[in-house]
Structure 1
């Protein structure tokens, strides 16, 4: 039997050992299992999300869709998330949280598998190439069918692509499966974070809860690293590996038509996500409450927590259901009070604008590396996973360390976040100077005589050197001439014969090569674009170094910025403020940013591919100078607007802090009196807890 020590402090001791559930500094085995399972779930969802971004160019080429359509697919994850987030956050907390998370993981895995399904429906990938017809022939066909000059200039040559399967592909757009799969991924991801974090916060010791949550968040950062590395690996593998003879594939991973085994990574990510659901089925709905959750003075909030505790359900009668009308009446004034806080409104506007910049930049950064610096998709994904993501993770961690070491307040956190963002902004301006020249493509970026500054039109693809050939202006089958100029196809290069097979094919007697060749030489051309861009290769390492440095510096302000959000509002409005913030950033940034970034990037395309059944497909070559200006310009322009709002917000924040300090001084005497009452009530609270412990079957209404 426990004995009360009626001292001024009202402390109490026990003659017997306390129950194991109330031993401090202990972690329940089921809580350890939940932590491990939640960490694995965070890793799985981060891996599949980053892998989706790594396959952007692969999906564009495989389904022959423009960049803005990829933006719609990428934003569909947020659409699925927003469809159910309100229901899951409210009803999920009242149900079996581990099993709800398990169901979410299963839905995520099914969505990931659904994304990969088109590969097994759409058939083999047909490369747009003019040498395919001669693969199994002893006599290579001439790439230059003879015709009259008049008919060649009309570009009416029938497409070399076979019409077989055209009706099948036109009946349904395969990318819709990817869209729906990503929506399903978003729905499944919804319960993982809110229910998982709340479960830890409910059943972990107060001093350990933050550590556990931090560990889970840290492990989730590892997911994108492996996601991009998986994307790099799959991008090296040909899309139809195992089904085609690789000797017959005439393109390399650096070609604009190359499609890697994008589907393979989704199968792997889906399997990992499905595995993450298994442990949650074996976890209980609730765990024993730690002692520090109820062994404390009976403040109103703490008393309510005791009553709502899952381990106390048998001791209290359930409350009457809340009146929906009353809840609605309270919601509107609460929301009005929150949005009446000018500091919060400014913060919300700043983060929405900066998230637009961040999401648009991250979504298309691998593609920017591919198109501007001539790197393969595999290398671009590898660099994102091994360099950029770790720099961001280190920056966020370092920002938290700085906050703790220097004990930054609200204003200090605001200044630190603003300063790091501004410094990163100035560093990012140097990206505009790290330019590469456009690829030299005859009839698109240079004339057939090698003169730069050509204004591209479809008719400029034709010249006297290829006038004797009936060439299609829609083909994209680039060959590299001995003069270092790329030609759109062997036919447009004026080549009349070829030797070899597969990717070793060499085209001979290319009349257009002679037009720009200042020195006499062989009039030959090889498959693929010319890669002679020495100046670009030299500047690329500097781009990577600056990218890592700017990413690290900008992410330093991530943690202080989040702390600013929490501290600039009233404690009772904190949950609503975080919810509105999440809703606003996902709706106004996560969904639209990839779409309009992709649409603007599409405007810089110089040569579009064409689908098998007609119609515009994926872009084959971009104006790299225009691409750099619109991509970086839009990213930096959005951040510029956010800085003006920040400057406007600092006076409001100072006024808010002064008002809070004045209110604290005014209420100082009232707080002292409240403290005395709280100490006096501790004795009654301990007696109440003792009564609960001694009468486990007694029903009590507070």
Structure 2
């Protein structure tokens, strides 16, 4: 049973991480804003909350392993449903200025500058007619439903799995088994991010499209990786996890020393089962009401709850948009950011959690000791993470958006894409198909750079005679440009290393205090209210942090967008370019502002506990 449960834990954390690592890809593939993606991400918690009460109560009466099996099958179904839209949507058309060029594989020179003359009117009509037929705009609802189904399926694993272990294992073995489960569960996110990284390297329509004709690289903000592949794999792993549970008995032979005096820890992480367990509902409800009042009027528990709520909001929002931050701030590809999160952020955290438990056991910490330890570690992590503000990179240098065509910085709102040097060309202003000039400036498209000839095909196209590069007075070299944005400076890759180091240190410190902090919650309520306290805690964290945090973080991040993409219908697509400085202050600032006050509440908690 332990082996089967461990595998199901692994596959549930694995599929959860696949979702987190595919967020930016889904945003680009379906042309969504960050806040919508945040909402999709939160749908997992919603599914979870829908059924948790019924599962914890009725599940305990039914055949527990079979209920868990049904849960795993539901998770598998959810993952497969999430991947479905890919197969119905047709190929991914990223926006590009040269549609006509790619259709015939001629290496003859195309003139980007006059490409749109005459074809402008027909192109518009064509794209309008193709527009009504485009079903993809609402396909993201399938992802939302799939994620919700996954949330529903995940519900029985923890409460029923742990209560089953608790009922049929020797009492002194239970903590070891639970620790074992959590350690194995930590491998899930690692594999998930590494898998996400692998999928993000592959082009979304791999196997269906000639990869030679694709003009974007994984570093490009229009690149979409094979996001659906991760969901297919996680679906298969959930399906495999379900199989062993079908063959497990309803109950096992109890070990001999399990006498009647064994106090069963009720780990069921929810309140509702307590309500249903009595046939005499009315007297019971009043009793339940008293317990609830007792828990909430416990000042220590209440301050701990507020403190954790702020921490969780900050942490969930931070974690959801972390891959995106690494892409936008340091110019990393989605694939590399996922790989690095899997490799650098998670191992220190799991080691930290484990060590925290060991330290607590070795020094036999009292509640005051545990509070001091958890508070110090968390605060240390907070101070270290404030260093992130100093290791940001400068904005991408994009002519007409962040700098003028002469290369001088311009304010955030004064972007003038058109300039004298490209006035001779008829360019579309809403297309994002960046080229990198030899002078180190990025231009929004080859047409806006004033280029008149191009050589080569696919990723290797080079544009020549670009009038805007000539116009740049300080530049004397070639007047040619290559596809894609210019890379960030050398200085930036150095800062990225500092960023990773800070991340590892603060993650480790934070997680060291994790186990003691979790134990404090058990110790500041009366023993008979333990399970209610844990249930209430989980419920409040999910409703007030898990669901809203990704949404409002996303909404604020959208505010820092400089250039929105456009769909084939000319509607607003996903964001292509953010203002790096504004993004950094919003993302890190919001996270810091949420976490800061939680330490004041922490001090209050410490005073209460001392009393």
Show the counterpart of 2:99.
132
Q: Which TM-score applies when normalising by structure 1?
A: 0.83
User: Equivalent residue of 2:112, what SS?
Assistant: coil
Picking from 301, 314, 317, the partner of 1:357 is: 314
Picking from 111, 116, 128, the partner of 2:78 is: 111
| In 2, Cα distance between equivalents of 1:125 and 1:287 | 52
Alignment of 1:594-609 (within 5 A): 594-609=550-565
How big is each residue's C-alpha offset from its partner over 1:398-425, in whole Å with a ceiling of 9 and x where there is no partner? 1111101111110111110100011011
Show the counterpart of 1:700.
none
Show the counterpart of 2:205.
240
Picking from 348, 361, 383, the partner of 1:391 is: 348
Gaps of 5+ in 1: 1-33, 309-318, 656-702
User: Equivalent residue of 1:293, what SS?
Assistant: coil
How big is each residue's C-alpha offset from its partner over 1:155-204, in whole Å with a ceiling of 9 and x where there is no partner? 99965984564223247501100000000000000000000000000000
Contact 2:95/2:568 (<8 A) preserved: no
| In 2, Cα distance between equivalents of 1:172 and 1:453 | 35
Show the counterpart of 2:461.
505
Q: Confirm whether residue 184 of structure 1 aligns to residue 149 of structure 2.
A: yes
Alignment of 1:10-159 (within 5 A): 34-135=1-102, 136=104, 138=106, 139-145=108-114
Gaps of 5+ in 2: 267-275
Q: Relative to 1, partners in 2 of residues 1:195 and 1:95: Cα closer, same or farther, differing over 3 Å?
A: same
Q: Relative to 1, partners in 2 of residues 1:156 and 1:581: Cα closer, same or farther, differing over 3 Å?
A: farther
Alignment of 1:680-699 (within 5 A): none
User: Equivalent residue of 2:134, what SS?
Assistant: helix
| In 2, Cα distance between equivalents of 1:171 and 1:624 | 30
Show the counterpart of 1:432.
389
Show the counterpart of 2:338.
381
How big is each residue's C-alpha offset from its partner over 1:202-260, in whole Å with a ceiling of 9 and x where there is no partner? 00001111111111111000000000000000000000000011100000000000000
Q: Confirm whether residue 416 of structure 1 aligns to residue 373 of structure 2.
A: yes
User: Equivalent residue of 2:353, what SS?
Assistant: helix
Contact 1:161/1:612 (<8 A) preserved: no
Show the counterpart of 2:519.
563
Q: Confirm whether residue 615 of structure 1 aligns to residue 571 of structure 2.
A: yes
Alignment RMSD:
2.0
User: Equivalent residue of 1:578, what SS?
Assistant: helix
Alignment of 1:159-178 (within 5 A): 162-163=127-128, 165-170=130-135, 173-178=138-143
Moved more, 161-170 or 384-393: 161-170
Alignment of 1:520-559 (within 5 A): 520-559=476-515
- Tell me the matched-pair count: 598
Picking from 180, 194, 197, the partner of 1:215 is: 180
Q: Relative to 1, partners in 2 of residues 1:532 and 1:220: Cα closer, same or farther, differing over 3 Å?
A: closer
Query: 1:523: how far off?
Result: 1.1
Query: 1:55: how far off?
Result: 0.6
Alignment of 1:477-496 (within 5 A): 477-496=433-452
Show the counterpart of 1:274.
239
| In 1, Cα distance between equivalents of 2:126 and 2:40 | 28
Query: 1:140: how far off?
Result: 3.8
Picking from 414, 417, 427, the partner of 1:461 is: 417
Q: Relative to 1, partners in 2 of residues 1:146 and 1:47: Cα closer, same or farther, differing over 3 Å?
A: closer
| In 2, Cα distance between equivalents of 1:442 and 1:157 | 29
| In 2, Cα distance between equivalents of 1:247 and 1:160 | 29
Contact 1:443/1:454 (<8 A) preserved: no
Contact 2:312/2:541 (<8 A) preserved: yes
Query: 1:521: how far off?
Result: 2.2
Q: Which TM-score applies when normalising by structure 2?
A: 0.95
Query: 1:443: how far off?
Result: 0.4
- Structure number with greater Rg is 1
Moved more, 174-183 or 132-141: 132-141
User: Equivalent residue of 2:327, what SS?
Assistant: helix
Contact 1:112/1:182 (<8 A) preserved: yes
Contact 1:79/1:183 (<8 A) preserved: yes
| In 2, Cα distance between equivalents of 1:126 and 1:320 | 56
| In 2, Cα distance between equivalents of 1:654 and 1:321 | 38
Show the counterpart of 1:684.
none
Show the counterpart of 1:202.
167
Query: 1:129: how far off?
Result: 1.1
Show the counterpart of 1:683.
none
Picking from 261, 267, 287, the partner of 1:330 is: 287
Q: Relative to 1, partners in 2 of residues 1:70 and 1:641: Cα closer, same or farther, differing over 3 Å?
A: same
Contact 2:105/2:457 (<8 A) preserved: no
| In 1, Cα distance between equivalents of 2:173 and 2:358 | 18
| In 1, Cα distance between equivalents of 2:338 and 2:606 | 39
Contact 1:108/1:184 (<8 A) preserved: yes
How big is each residue's C-alpha offset from its partner over 1:98-143, in whole Å with a ceiling of 9 and x where there is no partner? 0000000000000000000000011000121123311215344321
User: Equivalent residue of 1:220, what SS?
Assistant: helix
Contact 2:331/2:488 (<8 A) preserved: no
| In 1, Cα distance between equivalents of 2:257 and 2:312 | 38
